[in-house]
Structure 1
Amino acid sequence: MLPLHIQNETSRLRAVVLGTAVSNGPTPTADEAYDPKSLEHILAGTYPIESDMITEMEAFNQVFKKYDVEVFRPDIIQNYNQIFSRDIGFVIDDIFIKANILPDREKELDAIQYVIDHIDPKKVVRPPEEVHIEGGDVMLWNDYIFIGTYKGSDYKDYITARTNWQGVEYIKQLFPYKKVKDFDLVKSKIEARDNALHLDCCFQPVGTNKGIIYKSGFREEADYMFLVNLFGKENLFHITRDEMYHMNSNVFSIAPDVVVSEKNFTRLNNWLRENGFTVEEIPYAEIAKQEGLLRCSTLPLIRE
């Protein structure tokens, strides 16, 4: 049995599901795009090719090996995008929550069923149908659970709005002893530079008391101020609109002092090093074209 244990974003990682880019399928048509950034690259003819993405994910896998992390990969579904395992499920404490994802992504859960089979069935839950919640919107910070959502009355019109108020309520009921804080995120169907697809596109903790944040990703200044007050402004690295677009907040922590980051994030990586972090730089710019990065391609199962 897998003894699930996740209480924050940065404790020493022991087991993780890493997505796969093998048999990723043809470039989608414009009509098939799930987000504005993919659409942009489809239209420009710069959508990433499979071999490049496999190389990038293998670089990530090698970092996990270096730190002795147990890595599970999904079963391969032919001609299908299985890179972003964060969307399909997530662990809070010792509970595995299956996400209610976009209906045509259901197969992705089946592809990690062999992992779920190693979890105590009493610890695996599936929210009711009206609950929308994806792992990229759920962030654990010890006593807190941060959840990205979209509170606009036009929620149903946005394929980029992935977690609804029912999702927030569901987590509150499941974890009554946690402080659940929701954040209303800015969404756009057409401009990737103004679309916070998930919470991890505009905020992520690093270390034990620091974080990366994009102020304009929050619809309400009060939500942004909540994080400033919790972490302290001096502990937050503020990214620009362009850095948000390139997914600078979507790094991944292997330990409180070890962060995996994209090699082109020069300003961020320098700040991390100045603050005592070991930065494992890898190429991930092709995968970033699909509006997802390092955190999005992982589903952590066990942290110390």
Structure 2
Amino acid sequence: MQFLSGHERERILGMRGRTLAEAYPEQQRAWERERENFRAVLERYGVEVLRPRLLTEAEKRAAGAAGYANFFVRDPWFTVGGNVIEGCPRFRHRRLEVLPSRPVLRDRVMESDAAYVALPTPELPGLPGTQGAQGAQGADGPGPFPEGSDGPGPFLEGGDVVVLGKHVFVGRSGLASDDAGHRWLAQYLAPQGYTVEQVPLLPHVLHLDCALGLVREGLLLVCEDRLPEGLPAALRDWDRVTVTEDEAAALGTNGLPLSSEVYVTDPAFSRIGKELSRRHLTVEYVDFAVSRSLGGSFRCSTQPLSRRD
């Protein structure tokens, strides 16, 4: 959890064996208020809000010693054009995170013209008969993959996937999406005319949207200190609001554009908001301090099924 601050890591580790509501009930209530305030803003701008269900007790038990999480809906699945794609989180405690969204996917996607596909299930390292147990070559380098490691993938998380028309950027730091996930997505989308480009991140950066945010065509937020090879060529001519490392660590690039004219962020990022206002955007502020302390913000908390803008 090197992407979290020391204080946040200690607090989350202090939850071992307990839910957030059990460990920190006041924080749980504040977190729920944040989500309701955010929903009110979304609905005010005409966004239909669909909520995933909770994990069931059986699903929690099935997670076993790895544990479970159901904080953010961005990572376990994502949309690219007319494709709804279930990815696969790298962390073992997030592998069942897609299940609470399945009712939405079943009711809305299966009844639509969208293609609904899923990444291949990654093998579990250390099990008899798997490549990991035999020490075979994995997607990111040679085995063996010891028990307790993440294994060879493929891994692909929605926080790493940023879509610009027919150009898809996939972040890679070593904490989430891997080369195997990138190659799978590139091969799947190629017949539809998409280009999928991998964007290297520094090792402490969880996802691409923790370093880069597309606000509207021609305008972006970026912490270039987190991009060892700089901005992708397709974005280098765009107007940019520079985000500091401290702001990026607090998820300053992880706001949410509701249209080409409206952007949602936390009041902690009023400096960034003022820069966007100068560029003629309406900036909506919602206090998201608890969500951000758990490692995600507005983009992490949403997942579009379709867009009108």
What TM-score range do you get, normalising by the shorter chain?
0.7 to 0.9
Structure 1 residue 227: Cα displacement: 5.5
> How far is 1:225 from its partner?
5.9
Structure 1 partner of 2:149: none
Greater relative CO, 1 or 2 (CA 8 Å, sep 6+) = 1
TM-score normalised by length of structure 1: 0.76
Q: Which deviations, in whole Å up to 9, do the C-alpha atoms of 1:269-289 show, x marking residues without a partner?
A: 001111010111100012111
In the TM superposition, 1:186-201 aligns within 5 A as 186-187=202-203, 195-201=204-210
Measure the CA separation in 1 of the matches of 2:41 and 2:211: 24
After superposition, the C-alpha distances for 1:139-196 in whole angstroms (9 at most, x for unaligned) are 001121011013xxxx4xxxxx110111111111111111222111101xxxxxxx22
- Corresponding position of 2:164: 141
Match of 1:295 in 2: 299
Q: TM-score w.r.t. structure 2 length?
A: 0.75
Alignment-derived partner of residue 116 in structure 2: 124
Aligned pairs for 1:15-164 within 5 A = 34-37=1-4, 40-43=7-10, 49-77=27-55, 81-101=69-89, 102-118=91-107, 119-120=109-110, 123-128=115-120, 129=122, 130-150=153-173, 155=174, 161-164=175-178
Structure 2 segments unaligned to the other structure (5+ residues): 16-23, 61-67, 123-152
The partner residue of 1:253 within 247, 253, 257 is 257
Q: CA deviation at 1:198?
A: 0.2
Question: Aligned-pair RMSD on alpha carbons?
Answer: 2.2
Find out whether 1:214 has 2:223 as its counterpart: yes
Q: Which residue of 1 aligns with 2:200?
A: 184
Percent identical pairs in the alignment equals 24
* Offset from partner CA, 1:103-127 (integer Å, 9 cap, x none): 3323321211111112138721111
In the alignment, residue 127 of structure 1 is paired with which amino acid? L
Gaps of 5+ in 1: 1-33, 156-160, 188-194
Aligned with 2:278 (options 269, 274, 281): 274
Mapped partners of 1:229, 1:59: distance in 2: 35
Q: Which amino acid aligns with 2:93?
A: D
SS in 2 for 1:166: helix
Indicate if the aligned counterparts of 2:3 and 2:205 stay in contact, CA closer than 8 A. no
Q: Any idea what SS the aligned residue of 2:231 has? A: helix
Q: Is the 8 A contact 2:199 2:232 kept in 1?
A: no
Distance 1:268 1:184, change over 3 A: same
Residue pair 2:3, 2:206 contacting (<8 A) in 1 also: no
Is the counterpart of residue 284 in structure 1 residue 251 in structure 2?
A: no
